[in-house]
Amino acid sequence: MVTLNILPLLEKKGKTKYWLYKQLGMSYQNFSRMVNNETSSINLERIETLCQLLDCTPNELFLIDWEK
């Protein structure tokens, strides 16, 4: 199962979920589902924006658990 690694990346950068929410400009419901790994898709532009804001690569943004 592929999941987003947003919360640890935010902590590493010293930023809050609220900061990221404001930067992304998306609805809070969609933001919350994304951060809590309750979404089944994410578009490439959003991935690029997350990588820019969190100063990371897509490899750092996603985690894969082969057992799920």
Asked if 63 and 7 count as a contact pair (C-beta separation under 8 A), the reply is no
- At residue 51, the pLDDT reads 97
Asked if 50 and 61 count as a contact pair (C-beta separation under 8 A), the reply is yes
- At residue 67, the pLDDT reads 87
- The alpha carbon of 50 is separated from its chain's Cα centroid by a whole number of angstroms, namely 6
User: What pLDDT tens digit does each residue of the chain (68 aa) get?
Assistant: 999 999 999 999 999 999 999 999 999 999 999 999 999 899 999 999 999 999 999 999 999 999 87
> How many Å apart are CA 57 and CA 32, to the nearest integer?
21
- At residue 3, the pLDDT reads 94
- At residue 5, the pLDDT reads 96
